[in-house]
Amino acid sequence: MPLSIYHVDFGRGPGSIWTLDKLYGEKNSQVDDERFYEYQCIGGAYGTFLCHNVMDSTYRGVMKIFIQVPYDGTQRAPAEHRKAQAQSIPVDDFDIDSQLNALSTLTTKHCKFSPIILDIKFGTQLAIDPVPGGYIYFVLTNYLPGIKLSKIIFWSLKASVHIANSYITSFRMSEPAAESDEWRDDEWIVWGMVKTQNNRIWFEDPNKHPDMSTWTL
């Protein structure tokens, strides 16, 4: 069935209806029966779609859909059996929680270089869905310019492997700041993020916030 026939209505008039056009990516965290019964874990899945507004086909957005899925082995079980698994909210699902928390924070902080939430809808699945009564969330974000590179193209870029590995290594070595840690503006120099007339200032000047008017980012 073509994706173009699917619409998501946020309930605020015709301008809040969006049509799904293309699947960007999907992932699931389906659990087995042991994790469901013994640890009360529930399975989830999400898809990321390119979409457009029904009132203006040039107004594009990105739709994330989060949905509960039945535990492994019950996908074809009677609806009554799958309905018994229903939860109204995700429970300890890192894949979903991390995305929602990150998007909410970026939106609240008015970040200009990452997607922000334009609309959000919390609903429950219908009788014909994977888990009747289970959660289904629709999160609409703005569409950022540019194109998505395939993994083949990305990893074939010059020096990309070395650069990517250095970022990954640095990220894994990072740790949250402690309450006793104090930020010094000259740390921009240490990390090579600025140019100054005297790069030795970072260990010569005791001032934590020196004059930055002559620094070049």
Closest to 69 in 3D by CA, of 12, 129, 128: 129
User: Which pLDDT does position 60 carry in this prediction?
Assistant: 95
Question: Residue 27 in contact with residue 66, Cβ under 8 Å?
Answer: no
CB 31 within 8 A of CB 43: yes
pLDDT, tens digit, for every residue of 60-109?
999 999 999 999 999 999 999 999 999 888 777 777 888 888 899 999 99
Q: What is the pLDDT of residue 4?
A: 40
- Evaluate whether 144 touches 115 at the Cβ level (below 8 Å): yes
| pTM score | 0.67
**What was the pLDDT predicted at 5?**
47
* Residues in the chain with pLDDT values less than 70: 1-5, 154-155, 157-174, 198-205
pLDDT of residue 174: 64
pLDDT for 50:
94
User: For residue 135, what pLDDT is reported?
Assistant: 92
What Å distances lie between residue 22 and 136, 170, 214, CA to CA? Answer: 19, 34, 48
Strands (DSSP E) along the chain, which ranges? Answer: 7-9, 17-28, 43-53, 56-69, 117-124, 135-142
- Start-to-end CA distance of the chain, whole Å, equals 51
Structure confidence at residue 2 (pLDDT): 36
What distance lies between CA 173 and its chain's CA centroid? 22
Q: How high is the pLDDT of residue 65?
A: 94
